[in-house]
Amino acid sequence: MREAAARLARTLAGMLAPALIVASGAAAKPPAIRAPEAILVDAASGAVLYAKHPDGRRAIASTTKLMTALLALQSTRPDQVLTAVPYSATPAESTLGLAPGERMTVHDLMRALLLASANDAAATLAHGIAGSEAAFVVRMNDEAMRLHLAATSYANPIGLDDPDNYSTPRDLATLARRLMRDPAFARIVDLPRARLKSGAHPRTVLNRNLLVRDVPFVDGVKTGHTNHAGYILVGAGRRGGAQVISVVLGEPSEAARDAETLALLRYGLSGFTRVDALPAARTLALAPVKYFDGLKVRLHASRDVRVTVRRGARVDTHVRLPVPLRLTGPLPAGARVGTVTVLVDGRRAARASLVTEERVPGASFWRRAAIRAGATRPTLALGLVGVVLLAAVQLRGFVLTRMRGRVGPG
């Protein structure tokens, strides 16, 4: 009996339910992108949805500040206060107007860095974190290597034109995917504007990414522009649980940059759909109950699981149960006994508890004793217990009778 239960458990544990292949539907036509280099990726998996010379190296202007932001997130606290360093800006540069020695929180410096693209905020973060710009650049390049951004090089924390400051659409998309997983970063780049309360006086900064301000589903990421680099935008869009990230480099104007980014984001999001991957009403397994031969309890997911997936994706349900699988009662309906995972193209997309659909009865002392004594069925088990009890009673009577016979009147 134990071997049979173990075999059943091994069959169910790690079980894959029949796969659901999401219908492809009518494929949207990829947009005509004139940017010299561009890419569009699924933010969740990194799958490339569109590419045009994705590994072409180019100056990246203020999208350099994405790496500056990553190091700040890793090395500082939002309430940490840094002292502004002297910064000599050219008339065309974007700055916050920080005075040397002015003190501002990292919380506000990050908003100035990512929304207004303030170069003096980038310099202040670099000096505050590493002690000097040169030391900070070393850390930028070390982090690029750690993230496998093989075609990326940094020469400053700002994005000023330099032969050694460049990247590619593929590397920028990889970096943006990493950053958008950080809730603090994602909240900042989705702000149309922000009020900075620290520093010498309050300031309001506007997001230079006009798509975030004007298009509801756009939620990031960073603009860039120099005369050498042209107009650049790392974009992000989210709809119905799906998120895509786009990169366009070397655009001739802000209008072209925004229009082509919006076309890529819309194209990417159109390829996703919402599916019922795991209805809670579906019975996923039948679990035997210890001490109750033949009784099996239905198991199902604790909740409905819906996922957003790319059209044509494969959706699998992976049920994981303990080995050996034998429930021991009493357990209420809804008791957690395992897990069920939804896989999309082999990657985990969602997880829920596997719970009992009905109450699991508990075995009495006599039932457990009889089963342990070797009875194979509950009726035989109860009969065995009765026989043992009857024998015990008869033995007690016999013993008492013998004792009375030995003890006579004095």
CA distances from 49 to 31, 264, 343 (A): 11, 9, 20
Q: Residue written as tokens 């050694």? A: 164
Handedness of CA 81, 83, 87, 89 (dihedral sign): positive
User: 29: how many CB neighbours lie within 10 A of its CB?
Assistant: 8
CA distance 318 to 13: 9
Under a CB-based contact definition with an 8 Å cutoff, are residues 109 and 188 in contact?
no
CA distance 184 to 114: 12
Angle separating helix axes 106-114 and 65-75, nearest 10 degrees: 160
CA distance 322 to 10: 9
- Any idea which residues carry the catalytic annotation? 62, 65, 117
DSSP tally for the chain: helices H, then strands E? 11, 18
Q: Are strands 292-301 and 347-356 parallel, antiparallel or unpaired?
A: antiparallel
CA end-to-end span of the chain, whole Å? 60
CA-based radius of gyration for the chain: 33
